[in-house]
Structure 1
Amino acid sequence: MATTIAITIILSVAILTTTSNEPWDKYRLPDTLKPSKYNVTLWPRLEKDDHGMYVFTGHSTVDFECVKETDMILIHSNKLNLTKFNGHHATLTRLDGAAAPAIKTTWLQETTHYLVIQLNGKLVQGNFYQLNTRFQGELADDMTGFYRSHYTEGAETKVLATTQMEPTDARKAFPCFDEPALKAVFHMTLIHNRNTVALANGMETETVNTTMEGVEVSITTFEPTPIMSTYLVVLVVCEFDYIRSPEGGKVLVRVWAGRQAIAEGQGDFALEKAGSFLEFFERYLNVTYRLKKLDHIALPDLGPLAMENWGMITYTEKDLLCHQNQTEEERHSVAKLIAHEVAHMWFGNLVTMKWWNDLWLNEGFATYFSCLGFAALEPDGKLTNQRVWNSIWGAFSVDAVAHSHPLSFTEESMNTPAEINKIFDSITYNKGASVLRMLSEFLTEPVFSKGLSNYLNEFAYKNTVSTDLWKHLQAEVDRTPTLQLPDTIEVIMNRWILQMGFPVITIDTTTGTIRQKHFLTGLESVVDRPSIYNYEWFVPVTWTKHGAPQDRKWLLSQSDVHKPTKTAEWMLANLNMVGFYRVNYDQGNWERLSAQLIRDHKAIPPLNRAQIVDDVFSFAKENIIDMVLALKTTRYLSKETEYTPWVLAHNHLRHYLKKFRHTKVYGAMQRYLRKQVEPLFLHFKNITANWTKIRDGRYDRFHMTAFTFACETGVDSCMDLSRDWFNSWMNNPQDNVILPNLRHTVYCCAVATGGVQEWDFVWQMFKNATDDARHLHYALSCTKDPQLLKRSLQYLLDPTMGHNISFERRIMETADLDNLQPLVWNYIRDNWSVLNDDHNSEFLPKLITVVTERLSTEFDLKQLVDFKAAHTATGSVAKALDQAIERTKANVKWTEENQERLFQWLTSAARQQ
C-alpha cells in the first residue's frame, strides 16, 4: 500500500488525556442524537490538482432528532478539511422553521475523529434539526473511506474512485454518525467526468450534463437507500462496462468490470452464481430482498476480499472474475465469496448488530449461509463437506490457542477502530459459522429456519444483540414439544459465544465414561482470560456403536460424567462433524477405528473419516496420544477416494515431512506415502483419460491434490508426465497446454528434477506472467541446486528483477517456501540491522515466526539462541524470538523422542503394503 499525503488541517485541537471524561474524548457517541436522513454530494477528481494530489470535494446535510436535551453535537469526521461558515465548520437549522441554537464554537478532535460543535443554547428533546457541512478530502490510495485505485486498459493507466467504509471509515468520506446502530436513509449524488459512469447503493435515477468550475461534468443522482448503517454506503466512479440479468426479473443483477474483462466473458460465471444465490436465500429465509438491483463490481484494489455494501458488492478483481484458465477450485472460491456477500443482504444489511462486539451475527451467518448455498447448488454434498470442514478447521486452528478470544464481547471492551478491526478474523467468521451449524442441527433445520425468518422480519432495518436471536429461536423451540433441550437456547449458547475456545470430548470405551475439557495447543499453555463459565460447555454429544443408529447425550460440565458408551465394538462420536469439538478415545477404540477403516472405510461417513485423521494428528502433535497410533489411521488411505479425508491427511503429513526433512525419517515417510497415494493417482488417471478431462466442477481440487501428493512423494508416472508436459511447453512457449489446476505441481516437479535450463525458462515466464505468477514463483524455489536456490532468493527479493510488490510481501512469501526457508533465515541474520531500521515492529515478528517455524535441530536452536544474544530486541520482536526459541526447543525434543520409533514403523508399514 502506497503512503498517502495527508491534507493539512489547521484547526484548534483539544489535547486528549487518559483521564479526560469529556464526551469528545470518548470513542462512542453519546445517546443524545439520532440521524434519520443524509443528503450527500461528492465530486472525486480523477486527475491530480496543482499540488500533485488527487482530491474530492463535497457537501452534505444530515437530519437528526434530539432524543436527549444537549448543548453539544458530536459527529464523526476524519481527515476532512471542513469549510468554515462565519468562523464555524458547519451550520445548523431546525426543521420546523423555528430558530436553532447558535453555534458557539467548533473544532476537530483528531484522536476520536469528531467534529465537535458547542452551542449557545440547548437542542430540545423531540425536535428535528439539520446540520450542513462542506469539505474537501484526499482521494488517497489507502483503500479506506473514499479512495482511488489504478488499472490498465490497453497501454493506458486509468484512475477510478471507490469506497470502503467498514468498519469506521465512512467518516473519511463525509461527516456522519458513524456507528452501526445509528441507521438512516442516504440520498447520494455524484459529480463526475462525462466519460465515466457513477454507481451507488441505489439505482441511478437521473444524469445531467453541465459545466462546473470550467469542467464538463455529469451529475448523477440515485434512489434513496433503505434505512441502513453508514458502513454500507458505497460509491464508484469508473469507466467500466457491465453485463446484466435478463429483462423482466424481480431484481436487476449486474456484474461490472473493466471493458476488456467484460468483453472476454470474465464476469459471466459471477452473474450466474449471484442470481442463483439471491433466489436461494429468499426462498430459504422467506424474506424478500429489499432493493431493485444488486451490483457486483470487480475493483483493482480493495482492503478485504469483498465488501457487502447494500445494493452494490465490491470485490477484488481476482475474487470475482473468472478467465478461461481458471481452475474449478478457483471458480468455487469465487462462488463461495459471492454467496457469503449475498447472504449479508439479510445478515448485516437488513438486520445489523447493534455494535461491533456482536460482529459474529453478521459474519458468522454469512459464512454459514455460504455453505448452505453450496449445499443447495451441489446436492450430492461433496463440495459441501469440503466447505464445512474448511470452516471448522479454520476455526479449530486459531481457537485452540491460549490467547484466543470469544465470539461476542461486552460493548465496553471494544471502542477504538483498532480494537474493532482486530475481530475480523477466523473466529468471528469460521467459528461463528460452525456454532450456528451445530445449533441448527440440535434444533433441527425447520425450527432453526423458521426462527431465523421471524428474527429477520421483526428486526428488519433495525439492530440486534445476540439475545434477540436466542429469543426468536426459543419461541420456535417452545412451539415444538418433541424438542427436548437441557436448558434455554440462551443458556446453552452463551457458553459457546461468551467464552473462547472449545472442548475436547474424551470417551473411554473400557469404562463407558464421557468427559469434557478445554482443548489447548501447547501443553504448558496458560489461559489468562477468565470465564464465568469456567471453560465448560453444554455439549451435544452424538455417537454410534459399530454403525448402529446414533445416540445423543448433553454433557453439561467437566464433572458431568456420562457412562453410556462401554463397548467392545468401535465407537464413533460427533457424527458428520456437526459439533464444534474434538473427540479423543482410549487406545483400544482408536485401534478399532483404524481397523474398521482398513476393513471397510465406507462404514464411516466422509466427514468423520476426515475428523478421525485431523483429531488423531492434532492430539499426537500435543503428545496427548502416540504418534504411531496417529499414523495407523492413515493405512487405509490407499483405498480412499473422497477429498476431505485426503486433504486433512495431506496437510498433517506434509507438516511431518517438513519436520523430519533432514533426518532418515524423511525418506521412510516418502516411501510409505508413495505407496498410499499411488492408487489414488492411478484412480484419477483412469477416470480423467490420463489427466485430460478433469473439469467436471466437483472433483477438480481433489485431482490436483492427488496429482500434487503423487509428485511430491516421487510416484514415477506422475514425475514422468510432469516432465513431458513441461518440456512440450519449453519447446513451444506460446502454447501452454498444461492444465491450469496442475501447473503448480508440474512447474515445481520439472524444476526440481531439471537444471539451469528449466529454472531459466521459469524465471523468464515469471517476469511477464499474470495468471501463472504464483505457480511460477513457487516453482523457482523447487530446484535442488544450491546455486540456483541462491539465485532464486536474490531474484525474488530484488524489486528490479520481477513483479513490483512490496519487500515485506516478497520476503514473507519467500520465507514460506520449503527450500528457501533456510536461505531466508541466513539472509535475515546477515541483514538484521538494516531490516530492523527499515521495517516496522508489526512486520518483523511475523517474519520471525514464519522463517523459524520449521526449525527442529540442535544446530537450529543454537543459531537462534546466538542470534537473540547478538541483538538487542524489545517488545513484540523480543516476544517473537522468545516464542521461536521455545517452539524450536519443543521441536527438538519431540524429534529426538519420536524419530527412531517413527522410522521403524514407517519402514515396516511400507514393506507390508
Structure 2
Amino acid sequence: MRRFVRPLVLTALAACCGAALAAPAADDQPHGRLPSWAQPESYQLDFKVDPRQQDFSGTTVIKLKLTQASDHLWLHGRELKVSKVTVTDAAGKAHAAKYVDVAPQEGVVRVDFGGVLKPQELTLSFNYTAPLNQQLQGLYKVSHEGQPYAMTQMEPISARYAFPGFDEPGFKTPFDIRLTIPNDEAGVANTKQVKEEKAGEGWKKLTFSTTKPLPTYLVAFGVGPWDVVKGPDISSTPYRADALELRGVAAKGEGHRMQHVLGETPSIVHALEDYYGFGYPWDKLDLLAAPDFSAGAMENPGLVTFRDWLLLIDPDSPANYVRGSFNVTAHELAHQWTGDTVTLAWWDDLWLNEAFATWMQQKVTQKVHPEYRADLDRVRGAQGAMNGDSLVTTRKIRQPITGNGDIETAFDGITYQKGAAVLGMFEGYVGESTFQKGMRAYIQEHKFGNATADDLIDAIATAADKGDNFKQAFKSFLNQPGVPYVQTELAQENGKTVLKLSQSRYLPVGSKGNASQVWGVPMCVRYGTASGSKVSCELFDQATGSMVLEGASKNTWVLPNANGSGYYRFAMVKKDLANLGQQVGKLDDAEQLAYADAVYASFKHGDIDAGDVLAALKPLTSSKTREVALAPLTSFSWIRRNLAQTDAERAKLDAWAKAAYLPRLQQLGYHRKANEADSDSLLRSTLADELALVVKVPEVRAELLKQGDAALKRKADGRLDLGSADADRDLLGVSLGVAVQERGKSAVDALIAEVPQTSDPALRNAILDGLSEAEDPALTTEVRNFALDKKVKVGEMAMLLSGSRYTRAERDASWQWATANYDRIVERTGSFAGGKLPELVGGGGCSQDEADRLQAFFKDRVKQVTGAERGLAQATESTVLCQVLAKKQDAAAILR
C-alpha cells in the first residue's frame, strides 16, 4: 500500500520538488535486482578503521541519477547502524532522509526522501557504524600471530556489510576511497595512495586515486601492520606505455616470502596483454596474502587477495603450493580483463567472469610453464564438472537467479570448469586465432562496462563468420543443464566408413532425469588411417546423425573425442571400445584421459562392471605422464569405498593398486630429490596418500611413520620439529596422518597444541590434514570439537570436519557429531558457505537411509541458510545414486 502520512516538517520538500508528480509506492520492495530508475554515478567512501576494535565507522557519499519521480529509492545495506542520511538535490539543498532496514536478512534497504522528488541528479550521504565481520564477509577481522587485521571480501553480495550502496554488478561507477587508520598501521586499496595527512591524535588519513568504473563487489582495501614489499616493475608493452608498479602485501614478518610469486607475476601480465591486445588497465598491482579468507583468491583490481599459502612460498615449499600459486595468480590476473574491465551485467552470467578466467589461466600457464600441463588440467577439470553435471539437481551455466542463495552457490564446477571446457571446445571448433579475434573485439566493445552472454557469443560468431546455428549451439551448453552423451557405432555404407551418432543426456543408473535433450556439439573424432590417424570435426546438433570418416583404414578404430577437447561423454559398442582399448597407448595424453572418463562413465551408467573397469584402465597406470597414470584412481576409489564389503574383496582391490602403483612410488622414493621435476613431487604425494591411507600398504606406512615421528619430535624450545630434514615437506600431511592413526592420542594432542603456535600456512594445512585422518572414535570427536575452537580459522574448519567418513560407521559418527553441533558450525561459518553445509554435515553416503536422514534434518533448516537448498538436493541425489549403482554391481566381479 502507498504511504500517505508524512511528517509535516517534510511537506515543504514535497511541494518544492514536485509533489504533483506521480510516485511509485514505497512498499514496492525488490526481491531480485534493484529497479533501474535510480542509477549510481560515483561513490566517496570514507572509513575509520582500527583492527584492534570490534567496530568501524564510515561515511558514504553516492552521486546518483533519479530517472523517475519518487519519494524513496532502494539500495543495499546489512548490519549497518546508520545515524544520519542526507539527500542533496540538484539545486544544492540538503534535507534529512530516513534509512529503513526493510529486509535485514537480504540486506535490502529503503531510503525515504520525505517527499516526492522529480527526476534529477541527487547526492546521498550516510553516516554509520558497523561491526568488523567475524565470518570473512564485507569488511572483516582476522588475526596473525596475535595481531589483528581488517580486510575486505565483497564478492558476491557482501559489500552491503561494509557500506550502503547499489550492491549489484550491473552498477559500475568510479570510487574514491579514504582510510582513517592508526598511525602504526598500513593501509592499501584498489588504487595508488596519493595523499597522507594527520587526522587527530594517533590517527592518519590515507587518500587513494579515483578508480575506473567498478561494481561494488570489486572494492577492496586492508588495514593492519602489513609488510608491503616491492616487486619488480612490470615493463611497458605496445599496449601499455608505462612500467607497472608491483608490490606484495603480507602479515607482519611474512613479506620476505612474497618474492617467488612477485618474480612470476610479470610473465603472467605480459602474456595476458599479448592475448587481449589490451594493456593492464589499473594504476598499480598489489598481491595480498590474507591471514584468513573464504575463497581461494579474489580478483579485486589493483589489490588481488589470496589465501596466504598461495603467496608465501619458500625454496622448500611443497610442489602443489608452488604450482598452485602460479595457476591461481594467473586466474586472478586474467580477471583483470574478464570480470574487472568487462563485468557481467547480472549474476546469471557469472561464467563470463569465472569460466573465462579459468580458460585463460590455462592458456597462460601452458605458455609460461608448459611443464605444468595445463592442457591436461583443462580435461580433468571438465571431467570433474561432468560428474556433478550428471545430477538432475545440477544447475545451468546461465542459471536464473531467484534469490541470494542462487548467487552464492553459483561459484562451482559448473561455472568454472564446465564453462572453461565449453569455451575451449568452441575455440577448438573455430580455431584459436579466430577465437582470439572475437575476444579482443569483445573486450574493446565493452571495456569498463558490462556485458551478457549474447555479447560474447555475437563477438565470436562475427569473428568466425558463423550464423545462428553456431550461436544456438553455443547457447545450448549455457541454457540447459547436463552433459551430452554421444553414442557411436562404426559401420560400412556404400564403400565408406561411417560413424553413426545419436545423442541424449548422460544420466547415471538410477537417475530419474529425462534423457531427451539435444545440444549443438562441436564434435571432433580421431580415427585410424593407413598412415596413422586423422581428425574430423562437425557440428552435431540433431538427435541422430552420422559422419563419414574419409580415408579411414580397414577395420579402423575411432576415438569420439579427439584431443579430449569436447564437453561431452561418449559410449561405444563393445567391439569398437575393445578396438580403441588396443590403441590407447598411441593416443595423446588428453585423449587417454578422455578414454578413462568414457570407461568411468560407462560404469556409472550401469553398462560395465567393476572388473571390466579395472581391466580397461590398468594400461594407463604405467603412463609416464602423471595425470594419465593417476586417472584410474577415480574409478578405483569409488569401487573400493562402495563395493568392497569383504576382506577378500578389499584384498583383491588392494593387490590391483599395489601392483599398479607401489613400484612407481618405490622408484620415486620418499624424499624429494635435488632438482627433480615438480611432477615427480606431485606424483609421489598422491601415491603416498593413496597407498598409505586408503590401501594401507604396510611398507609405505612404515616409511611415512618414520617421517611423521620425526616431525612430532620436540625441539629444544618445546615446539614440534615440523621442518625436520627427515620429514619431506611434500609428504608432511600424509605422514602426520599415518602418525595420528598409529600413535593415537599423543599425536593428536601434540598437533592440536601446535596449531596456535604455528603461523606458517603450509605447516598449518599439513597439521590439519594429519588430524583429519584420525580413525579412533574418541579422537575424531576431539578433532571435530577442535574445529569449532577459534584457534582454527574459519577458512580451515572444513578440513577437519570432512575427515573420517570412509566407512559407514565413520559416517554415522560424523553425522551424530555434526547434527549435535550444527548451530555452532553455522554460527562460525555464517551463510557464505551455506551451499556446502549439507555435504559438510552428511555428505559422502551411499544408502537410502543416509539420504533420508539428510532430508529430515534439513527439512526445517534449509531455508535459514542461503544456498543450502541446492546443496541439500545435490547431496541427497548423489547418495541415492551411489546406492543404486552399488546394488546393481556384482561384488564378485571384483574377484575375477
TM range (shorter): 0.7 to 0.9
Tell me which moved more, 543-552 or 831-840: 831-840
By how many angstroms is 1:562 displaced? 4.5
What secondary structure, in the 3-state scheme, does the structure 2 residue paired with 1:634 have? helix
What's 1:438 paired with? 425
By how many angstroms is 1:102 displaced? 6.1
Distance in 1 between residues matched to 2:275 and 2:700, nearest whole Å: 45
Deviations 1:54-97 (A, max 9, x none): 2222223222233344443333333222223xxxx323131xxx
- With over 3 angstroms needed to count, the CA separation of the structure-2 counterparts of 1:709 and 1:640, relative to structure 1, is farther
TM-score by length of 2: 0.84
Q: Is the 8 A contact 2:737 2:769 kept in 1?
A: yes
Q: How does 1:757-776 map to 2 (within 5 A)?
A: 760-761=746-747, 763-769=749-755, 770=758, 771-776=762-767
- Is 1:850 paired with 2:843? yes
Distance in 2 between residues matched to 1:345 and 1:800, nearest whole Å: 35
By how many angstroms is 1:288 displaced? 0.7
Q: How does 1:375-386 map to 2 (within 5 A)?
A: 375-380=366-371, 382-386=372-376
- With over 3 angstroms needed to count, the CA separation of the structure-2 counterparts of 1:189 and 1:814, relative to structure 1, is closer
What's 1:817 paired with? 804
Q: Is the 8 A contact 1:443 1:477 kept in 2?
A: yes
Distance in 2 between residues matched to 1:31 and 1:621, nearest whole Å: 47
What's 1:451 paired with? 438
What's 1:209 paired with? 198
What's 1:7 paired with? none
Q: Once the two structures are aligned, what percentage of the paired residues are identical? A: 19
Q: Is the 8 A contact 2:149 2:223 kept in 1?
A: yes
What's 2:14 paired with? none
What's 1:909 paired with? none
- Is 1:642 paired with 2:625? yes
By how many angstroms is 1:218 displaced? 0.3
Distance in 1 between residues matched to 2:713 and 2:373, nearest whole Å: 38
- Is 1:118 paired with 2:113? yes
- Is 1:128 paired with 2:121? yes
By how many angstroms is 1:106 displaced? 5.5
By how many angstroms is 1:503 displaced? 0.4
By how many angstroms is 1:257 displaced? 0.4
By how many angstroms is 1:842 displaced? 8.0
What's 1:416 paired with? 403
What's 2:831 paired with? none
Distance in 2 between residues matched to 1:201 and 1:728, nearest whole Å: 44
Structure 1: which amino acid aligns with 2:440?
Answer: S
What's 1:107 paired with? 100
Q: Is the 8 A contact 1:31 1:68 kept in 2?
A: no
Distance in 1 between residues matched to 2:251 and 2:663, nearest whole Å: 45
- With over 3 angstroms needed to count, the CA separation of the structure-2 counterparts of 1:73 and 1:872, relative to structure 1, is closer
- With over 3 angstroms needed to count, the CA separation of the structure-2 counterparts of 1:139 and 1:474, relative to structure 1, is same
Structure 1: which amino acid aligns with 2:658?
Answer: R
What's 2:866 paired with? none
- With over 3 angstroms needed to count, the CA separation of the structure-2 counterparts of 1:56 and 1:873, relative to structure 1, is closer
- With over 3 angstroms needed to count, the CA separation of the structure-2 counterparts of 1:148 and 1:818, relative to structure 1, is closer
By how many angstroms is 1:748 displaced? 4.4
Q: Is the 8 A contact 2:251 2:291 kept in 1?
A: no
What's 1:893 paired with? 887
By how many angstroms is 1:583 displaced? 1.4
Distance in 1 between residues matched to 2:480 and 2:835, nearest whole Å: 27
What's 1:501 paired with? 482
Distance in 2 between residues matched to 1:59 and 1:837, nearest whole Å: 34
Q: Is the 8 A contact 1:65 1:128 kept in 2?
A: yes
Structure 2: which amino acid aligns with 1:216?
Answer: G
Distance in 2 between residues matched to 1:801 and 1:843, nearest whole Å: 17
By how many angstroms is 1:571 displaced? 1.4
- With over 3 angstroms needed to count, the CA separation of the structure-2 counterparts of 1:527 and 1:71, relative to structure 1, is farther
Q: How does 1:106-505 map to 2 (within 5 A)?
A: 107-111=100-104, 113-118=108-113, 120-124=115-119, 127-152=120-145, 157-211=146-200, 215-246=201-232, 249=235, 250-262=243-255, 265-380=256-371, 382-409=372-399, 413-414=400-401, 416-478=403-465, 487-505=468-486
What secondary structure, in the 3-state scheme, does the structure 2 residue paired with 1:190 have? strand
What secondary structure, in the 3-state scheme, does the structure 2 residue paired with 1:315 have? strand
Q: Is the 8 A contact 2:334 2:360 kept in 1?
A: yes
Q: How does 1:492-531 map to 2 (within 5 A)?
A: 492-510=473-491, 512-526=499-513
Q: How does 1:895-910 map to 2 (within 5 A)?
A: 897-904=889-896
Aligned positions, number: 824
Q: How does 1:63-82 map to 2 (within 5 A)?
A: 63-82=63-82
Structure 2: which amino acid aligns with 1:555?
Answer: F
Deviations 1:104-139 (A, max 9, x none): 866342345223223534323xx4332222222222
Tell me which moved more, 339-348 or 315-324: 315-324
Unmatched segments (≥5 aa) in structure 2: 1-24, 236-242, 493-498, 716-720, 827-833, 863-868
Kindly indicate whether structure 1 or structure 2 has the higher relative contact order, using CA contacts under 8 Å at least 6 residues apart.
2
What secondary structure, in the 3-state scheme, does the structure 1 residue paired with 2:206 have? strand
Q: How does 1:655-694 map to 2 (within 5 A)?
A: 655-663=638-646, 664-685=648-669, 691-693=672-674
What's 2:15 paired with? none
TM-score by length of 1: 0.82
Tell me which moved more, 127-136 or 667-676: 127-136
What's 1:6 paired with? none
By how many angstroms is 1:314 displaced? 1.5
Q: Is the 8 A contact 2:149 2:222 kept in 1?
A: yes
Structure 2: which amino acid aligns with 1:118?
Answer: F
Structure 2: which amino acid aligns with 1:36?
Answer: E
Q: Is the 8 A contact 2:487 2:502 kept in 1?
A: yes
Q: Is the 8 A contact 2:805 2:814 kept in 1?
A: no
What's 1:40 paired with? 45
Tell me which moved more, 662-671 or 619-628: 619-628
- With over 3 angstroms needed to count, the CA separation of the structure-2 counterparts of 1:805 and 1:822, relative to structure 1, is farther
- With over 3 angstroms needed to count, the CA separation of the structure-2 counterparts of 1:653 and 1:444, relative to structure 1, is same
- With over 3 angstroms needed to count, the CA separation of the structure-2 counterparts of 1:429 and 1:549, relative to structure 1, is same
- With over 3 angstroms needed to count, the CA separation of the structure-2 counterparts of 1:406 and 1:730, relative to structure 1, is closer
Equivalent of 1:595, from 582, 586, 592? Answer: 582
By how many angstroms is 1:736 displaced? 4.1
Q: Is the 8 A contact 1:795 1:802 kept in 2?
A: no
By how many angstroms is 1:367 displaced? 1.0
What's 1:31 paired with? 36
Q: Is the 8 A contact 2:169 2:215 kept in 1?
A: yes
Q: Is the 8 A contact 2:234 2:266 kept in 1?
A: no
What's 2:525 paired with? 543
Q: Is the 8 A contact 2:772 2:799 kept in 1?
A: no
Structure 2: which amino acid aligns with 1:257?
Answer: A
By how many angstroms is 1:333 displaced? 1.3
- TM-align CA RMSD: 3.6
Deviations 1:838-868 (A, max 9, x none): 7779888435633634x6xxxxx8x869989
Distance in 2 between residues matched to 1:361 and 1:865, nearest whole Å: 34
Structure 2: which amino acid aligns with 1:893?
Answer: K
Distance in 1 between residues matched to 2:713 and 2:520, nearest whole Å: 63
What secondary structure, in the 3-state scheme, does the structure 2 residue paired with 1:184 have? coil
Q: Is the 8 A contact 1:398 1:404 kept in 2?
A: yes
Distance in 1 between residues matched to 2:480 and 2:270, nearest whole Å: 36
Distance in 1 between residues matched to 2:275 and 2:597, nearest whole Å: 32
Distance in 1 between residues matched to 2:184 and 2:837, nearest whole Å: 45
What secondary structure, in the 3-state scheme, does the structure 1 residue paired with 2:149 have? strand
By how many angstroms is 1:881 displaced? 10
Q: Is the 8 A contact 2:391 2:877 kept in 1?
A: no
Deviations 1:665-692 (A, max 9, x none): 211121122222244335435xx9x753
- With over 3 angstroms needed to count, the CA separation of the structure-2 counterparts of 1:498 and 1:834, relative to structure 1, is closer
- With over 3 angstroms needed to count, the CA separation of the structure-2 counterparts of 1:820 and 1:182, relative to structure 1, is same
Distance in 1 between residues matched to 2:621 and 2:852, nearest whole Å: 45
- Is 1:702 paired with 2:683? yes
Unmatched segments (≥5 aa) in structure 1: 1-19, 49-53, 479-484, 529-533, 856-860, 905-913
What's 1:908 paired with? none
- With over 3 angstroms needed to count, the CA separation of the structure-2 counterparts of 1:501 and 1:882, relative to structure 1, is closer
Structure 2: which amino acid aligns with 1:394?
Answer: G
